[in-house]
Amino acid sequence: MEQKLKEEEKKVGVIETWLRKHTLLFKGATRHPFILSIRDGSIDITSFKSWLAQDYLFVRAFVPFVASVLIKAWKESDESGDMEVILGGVASLEDEISWFKREASKWGISLSEVVPQQTNKKYCGLLESLMSPDVEYTVAITAFWVIEVVYQESFAHCIGEGSKTPQELKETCERWGSEAFAKYCQSLQNIVNRRLQKASDEELKKAEHTFLNVLEYEVDFWNMSRGNV
């Protein structure tokens, strides 16, 4: 029976199985009240500014994490194409950092004065722990994918049909909600599914644990932005 379930998992893809198993937590991260308030236009701009400032710091810590995934791909991947996908991610982060600077100045935020909140520090600490050479490529790329897909699913919801997102927030939502970003997440997801299909039970367990950990930290990050720490 256990064996049969495992075979089934492989056919539909491990990620799909996880998403079914952990729907509630995934929804918690991608349909958070912060996101819903952008979509319905009721967002408190103070929360948005707080998110923007904290996320800038997060993205700066995300760069070395993605670079560490690139190193793992080079050392461990069975497919040379993985490197191009990850390298594309690194490249677009340069643009993203410039965007944060422009957006912050629009809102009158001085980024050099932003102090990381505890929740943000904790999340950056998780990234740092995943940079360790002891963490397998499969586990690290799983984290990478879920970090990106949470923003993709969240912000796409804000520009979807019936959304009342304020004009001045639309560019932010487009950044992660766009078709192009969705495609990039799909490329990451394909890598993750391929790796998980070949993974040992031990590695699968670690990857699933990391997947859940990231989702919890994403919920905390939204909570922090709304001022509920």
Residues annotated within a binding site: 55, 96, 148
58 or 211: CB nearest ligand HMH: 58
88 or 197: CB nearest ligand HMH: 88
Alpha-carbon distance 2 to 226, whole Å? 43
DSSP output for 79-99 = -THHHHHHHHHHHHHHHHHHH
86 or 199: CB nearest ligand HMH: 86
- Which amino acids are annotated catalytic? 218
The residues binding ligand HMH (CB under 6 A) are: 55, 58-59, 147-148, 150-151, 218, 221
Please, what is the end-to-end C-alpha distance for the chain in angstroms?
Answer: 44
Using CB atoms, what's the residue nearest to ligand HMH? 151
Q: How far is the CB of 138 from ligand HMH (least distance, A)?
A: 20
Annotated binding-site members for substrate = 55, 96, 148
Q: How far is the CB of 118 from ligand HMH (least distance, A)?
A: 14
Give the torsion through C-alpha atoms of 188, 190, 192, 198, to 10 deg: -160
Residues 6+ apart with CB under 8 A from 171: 103
C-alpha distance from residue 50 to each of 31, 89, 90 (Å): 19, 25, 25
Q: How far is the CB of 184 from ligand HMH (least distance, A)?
A: 11
Q: How far is the CB of 128 from ligand HMH (least distance, A)?
A: 14
Alpha-carbon distance 201 to 5, whole Å? 13
137 or 184: CB nearest ligand HMH: 184
Alpha-carbon distance 51 to 60, whole Å? 14
Three-state DSSP state, 200: coil
